Amino acid sequence: MVIASPTVLIGPHPSVVHATYLTNALKPKLKLISIMGSYGWGGKMVDFIINMISNLKIEMISPLNIKGFPKEEDYKKIDAIADEILSKHIEFGIIKK
């Protein structure tokens, strides 16, 4: 699961808060989670979401929080997260290489 959200004030978008709350309460069978977001001046969105998913005992792929509009190096970080997700899916046998 990848939770992606812009920062609204100091936390995630309200719709993302709702979905994250339900995910934490329902505890779906997940193996991986990552968080991606952007912020202008208050970059606490990732910490907010990490605290919200405390019931989920799963592996966390490095979160990414970008200040402002993404730059070329940010796109490379997004590609690296996608590559890590792919390699984990292959490792878990979800996708065959």
**CATH fold of 2-91, please?**
Rossmann fold (3.40.50)
Report percent pLDDT > 70 for the chain: 100
CA-to-CA distance for 95 and 97, rounded, in angstroms? 6
How confident is the model over 43-59, as pLDDT tens digits? 789 999 999 999 998 99
Q: What is the pLDDT of residues 27-36, one digit of tens each?
A: 999 999 999 9
For residue 48, which phi and psi values (nearest 5 degrees)? -60, -45
> Domain coordinates of the chain in residue numbers?
2-91
Closest CA to 31 of 86, 89, 78: 89
Give the model's pLDDT for residue 49. 94
| Parallel/antiparallel/unpaired status of strands 2-8 and 32-39 | parallel
Global pTM value: 0.85
- One-letter amino acid for residue 85 of the chain: I
